[in-house]
């Protein structure tokens, strides 16, 4: 029978099947000819020592044994054209996976998406990058696939408690993602490949009787006696249903304002905010791999840093090796940064959000906005950054060491952020307490990660959309809103997820809970 092995090998051996078989044969004392096939189950890099190793978990098949291929199949979907309808608001990962789960459960999803399909979004992304035009319904945050479609496609989550991660990964593979995402410790699809996968998910939803409607923005929720009756869209259309899965993402400020206006209970939620730091990828490779050149067998290096500064966590967020920084504003008069990597992670720079955890007490200057205080705090920094950088889509920028020394950088080299940068002393962008924490934090980063604190690194402001500034509370058992029957707050926008995988899992959970009440 196949033999399972856990081994450490050099990057060269890990990348070469013939060398790997020879290494295994020596380890288990068998002729290499007896090893018929090696299936890699898990792969990760251990760069803690100077001699970098690759950890491999594998199955060894010997001569005469049947090689068992990894199966990734879609569920047995049935046509739901005439089934009970459930409205799904938002076609990000939470909404799309909720829709797939509804079909699997015999219910008909009606997905409405304020933005355009993946192809249509590209024109609007070009417009924000080159012409500084922000389409409020179609941008890096809004449109088919949500924020992840054109802003990286990372597929790992820190919390395994959220649900069945492997199920989501297998579904992605069944829709066309590389099987490598089932193996890698930090799976990543890439912004260049994710759009086609999202298209295929949409086509599957439609094939089995669901609907996906683009350019449809939720403008009102129809209620009777605190129970959902349906929705109204920006086109004046009314769609009736007794169940709504609200999966609108963390940047849908108009949805938070709608709920607040209708006195549907929401609450302010702490989030994290800071800058996006860009280094030369070669420098990050040198730091992480302790070598001048990483060679052809190692991927571009990533990093993760966490520090406690003045009682606050300051940490790297959404680190993108071999990637670029993108303009992610969702309204005119603001600037927002995020990062992404293509599947090969082959760009010359590495970037990461470097953010500080905020507390509810930080939002006191915006207390008059009630549950929207955090959102208004966030908005104020984005708008101030827009003004300071020249009122286009250029962003405030500063060299990292200059920032720690409160010096405006005399020059900013061209970075991967296409709209461009304006030299600004970041103390003008952020509240004093936040500026001080970041200055001390970067100095601490430099002490523990030698070479990280350098003027070759450029800070771009702000990194402000790390998570939702609002939580839409729901019952811990039924997942229904605590006040409105038939409303299921879902995913990142509701405060229950943080990334593609966790959002997809939450979408499935909400669909399951919704189906339970329908089928009673």
Which pLDDT band, with edges at 50, 70 and 90, does 430 fall under?
A: very high
Q: What is the mean pLDDT of residues 220-235?
A: 98
Torsion of CA 466, 471, 477, 482, to 10 degrees: -170
**Is the pLDDT assigned to residue 269 strictly greater than 90?**
yes
CA 178 to chain centroid, in Å, comes to: 18
| Four-residue CA torsion sign, 433, 439, 442, 447 | negative
pTM for this prediction: 0.95
Average pLDDT over residues 401-428: 97
Sheet strand arrangement including 458-463? 306-309, 312-320, 349-357, 272-280, 458-463, 395-399, 421-423
**Percentage of the chain lying above the pLDDT 90 cut:** 88
CA 6 to chain centre: 30
9-22 tens-digit pLDDT: 999 999 999 999 99
pLDDT at 84: 97
Q: What crossing angle do the helices spanning 93-104 and 500-518 adopt, rounded to 10°? A: 40
| pLDDT tier at 190, thresholds 50, 70, 90 | confident
According to the model, what pLDDT value does residue 30 have? 94
Q: How far apart are CA 298 and CA 375, in angstroms?
A: 41
Distance CA 325, CA 320 (A): 9
pLDDT at residue 278 in the model? 98
Domains and CATH numbers, the chain: 3-62 (3.30.70.2700), 85-266+470-519 (3.50.50.60), 270-463 (no CATH)
As a whole number, mean pLDDT of residues 376-400 equals 98
* Side-chain half-sphere CA neighbours of 460 within 13 A: 31
Confidence of residue 97 (pLDDT cuts 50, 70, 90): very high
More confident residue, 144 or 344: 144
Pick from 140, 499, 93, 119: nearest CA to 325: 140
Is pLDDT above 80 for 82? yes
| Residue 162 tokens, joined | 């959220």
pLDDT at 185 over 90: no
Q: What is the pLDDT of residues 358-370, one digit of tens each?
A: 999 999 999 999 9
Distance of CA 373 to the CA centre of its chain: 24
Nearest to 349 by CA among 299, 282, 294, 402: 282
Report pLDDT digits (tens) over 99-154.
999 999 999 999 999 999 999 999 999 999 999 999 999 999 999 999 888 766 67
How confident is the model over 421-429, as a mean pLDDT? Answer: 98
User: What is the rounded distance in angstroms from the CA atom of residue 143 to the CA atom of residue 476?
Assistant: 29
pLDDT, the chain, mean: 95
pLDDT at 198: 96
Radius of gyration of the chain (CA): 24
Residues 6+ apart with CB under 8 A from 210: 80, 99, 102, 103, 108, 109, 110, 111
The answer on pLDDT for 422 being more than 70 is yes
Q: Taking 70 as the threshold, does the pLDDT of residue 415 lie above it?
A: yes
Q: What are the φ/ψ torsions at residue 398 (nearest 5 degrees)?
A: -160, 140
**pLDDT for 322 beyond 80:** yes
- Neighbouring residues of 49: CB distance < 8 A, sequence distance ≥ 6: none
Q: Which of 363, 356, 397 is nearest to 380 (CA)?
A: 363
The band of 67, judged by pLDDT with boundaries at 50, 70 and 90, is confident
Is the pLDDT at 331 greater than 90, yes or no? yes
Which run of H or E residues covers position 227? strand 227-233
User: What confidence score (pLDDT) does residue 284 get?
Assistant: 97
CB count within 10 Å of CB 69 equals 9
Q: Is 296 exposed, middle or buried (0-12, 13-18, 19+ CB in 10 A)?
A: exposed
């Amino acid at each position: 029978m196949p033999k399972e092995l856990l081994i450490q090998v050099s990057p060269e051996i890990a990348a070469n099947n013939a060398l790997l078989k020879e290494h295994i044969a020596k380890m288990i004392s068998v002729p290499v000819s007896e090893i018929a096939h090696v299936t890699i189950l898990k792969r990760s890099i251990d760069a803690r020592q100077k001699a970098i190793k690759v950890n491999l978990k594998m199955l060894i098949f010997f001569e005469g044994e049947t090689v068992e291929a990894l199966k990734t199949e879609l569920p047995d979907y049935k046509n739901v054209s005439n089934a009970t309808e459930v409205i799904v608001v938002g076609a990000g990962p939470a909404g799309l996976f909720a829709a797939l789960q509804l079909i699997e459960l015999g219910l008909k999803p009606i997905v409405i998406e304020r933005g355009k399909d993946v192809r249509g979004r590209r024109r609007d992304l070009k417009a924000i990058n080159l012409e500084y035009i922000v389409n409020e319904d179609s941008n890096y945050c809004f449109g088919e696939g949500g924020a992840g479609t054109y802003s990286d496609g990372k597929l790992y989550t820190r919390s395994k408690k959220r649900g069945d991660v492997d199920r989501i990964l297998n579904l992605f593979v069944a829709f066309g993602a590389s099987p490598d995402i089932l193996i890698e410790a930090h799976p990543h699809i890439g912004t260049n490949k994710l759009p086609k996968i999202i298209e295929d998910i949409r086509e599957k939803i439609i094939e089995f009787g669901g609907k996906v409607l683009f350019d449809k923005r939720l403008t009102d929720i129809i209620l009777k006696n605190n129970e959902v009756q349906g929705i109204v869209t920006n086109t004046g259309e009314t769609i009736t249903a007794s169940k709504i899965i609200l999966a609108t993402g963390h940047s849908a400020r108009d949805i938070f304002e709608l709920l607040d206006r209708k006195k549907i209970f929401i609450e302010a939620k702490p989030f994290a905010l800071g800058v996006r730091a860009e280094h030369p990828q070669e420098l990050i490779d040198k730091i992480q791999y302790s070598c001048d050149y990483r060679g052809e067998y190692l991927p571009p290096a990533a990093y993760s840093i966490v520090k406690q500064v003045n009682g606050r966590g300051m940490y790297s967020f959404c680190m993108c090796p071999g990637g670029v920084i993108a303009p992610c504003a969702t309204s005119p008069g603001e600037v927002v940064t995020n990062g992404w990597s293509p599947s090969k992670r082959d760009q010359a720079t590495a970037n990461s959000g470097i953010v500080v955890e905020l507390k509810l007490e930080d939002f006191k200057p915006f207390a008059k906005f009630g549950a929207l205080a955090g959102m208004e705090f966030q908005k104020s920094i984005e708008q101030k950054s827009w003004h300071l950088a020249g009122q286009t889509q250029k962003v405030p920028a500063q060299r990292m060491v200059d920032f720690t020394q409160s010096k405006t950088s005399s020059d900013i080299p061209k970075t991967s952020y296409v709209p461009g940068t304006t030299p600004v002393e970041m103390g003008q962008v952020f509240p004093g307490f936040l500026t001080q924490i970041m200055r001390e934090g970067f100095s601490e980063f430099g002490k523990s990660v030698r070479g990280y604190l350098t003027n070759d690194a450029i800070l771009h402001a702000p990194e402000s959309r790390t998570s939702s500034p609002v939580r839409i509370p729901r019952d811990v058992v039924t997942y229904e809103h605590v006040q409105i029957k038939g409303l299921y707050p879902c995913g990142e926008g509701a405060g229950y997820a943080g990334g593609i995988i966790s959002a997809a899992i939450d979408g499935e959970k909400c669909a399951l809970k919704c189906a339970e009440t329908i089928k009673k």
